[in-house]
Amino acid sequence: MSTLNPAGAAPATRQDAMRLLLAGIADDLLAYRDLRGLLEQQFDAAVRHQGPQLAAVAEAISTVVDEMQERRTQRVALVQRLLGPTSTMSQAFALLKNAARERMEADWATLEQMVIECKRLGKRNSDLLVEQYSIMQRVLHGEEQIYAPA
């Protein structure tokens, strides 16, 4: 389910803008769960040296990340429409009534933790792939220097 406005159309009312903002956060919570699973698949494929699987997972990761980037761009525009060009998410949440604000603040905190976890997994995967590439280069081309210079 995508909450992106078609053709970048501006929401009709402030209430519509807030609704889109909140729906986008909900969509990102689901997308980060999916991204985490894809990052685990990527790691597994890298450990097992499964090139075709790595390519397929990389494509899926790219698609998910592109969609999240579109929502992030929309989120920034919506917050700016609601509160001005230098506004923050916490200022946008302050517009909500207590129960809704608390739920969205909790969702936002969960989303921030998911971002941190996916960054950690992405770095882990990158480190593994770089190390595998480095090993392969040494196997194919030999060591540059066998002994360290004195």
User: What's 121's domain CATH number?
Assistant: 1.20.58
Is residue 1 situated within a structural domain? no
Contact between 38 and 92 under an 8 Å Cβ cutoff? The reply is no
Residue 117 to residues 31, 123, 124, Cα–Cα distance (Å)? 13, 10, 11
φ, ψ at 95 (rounded to 5°): -75, -15
Is the pLDDT reported for residue 9 higher than 90?
no
Interval 79-97: pLDDT, tens: 999 999 999 999 999 999 9
Query: Residue 51 is part of which domain span?
Result: 6-141
Residue 69: CB atoms within 10 Å:
10
Interval 110-140: pLDDT, tens: 999 999 999 999 999 999 999 998 888 878 8
Average pLDDT in the chain: 90
Return d(Cα 58, Cα 101) in angstroms, integer.
36
Return d(Cα 75, Cα 130) in angstroms, integer.
34
DSSP 10: P
Provide the domain count of the chain: 1
Helix or strand holding residue 8 (H, E): none
pLDDT confidence of residue 104:
94
pTM score of the predicted model:
0.83
Return d(Cα 16, Cα 104) in angstroms, integer.
16
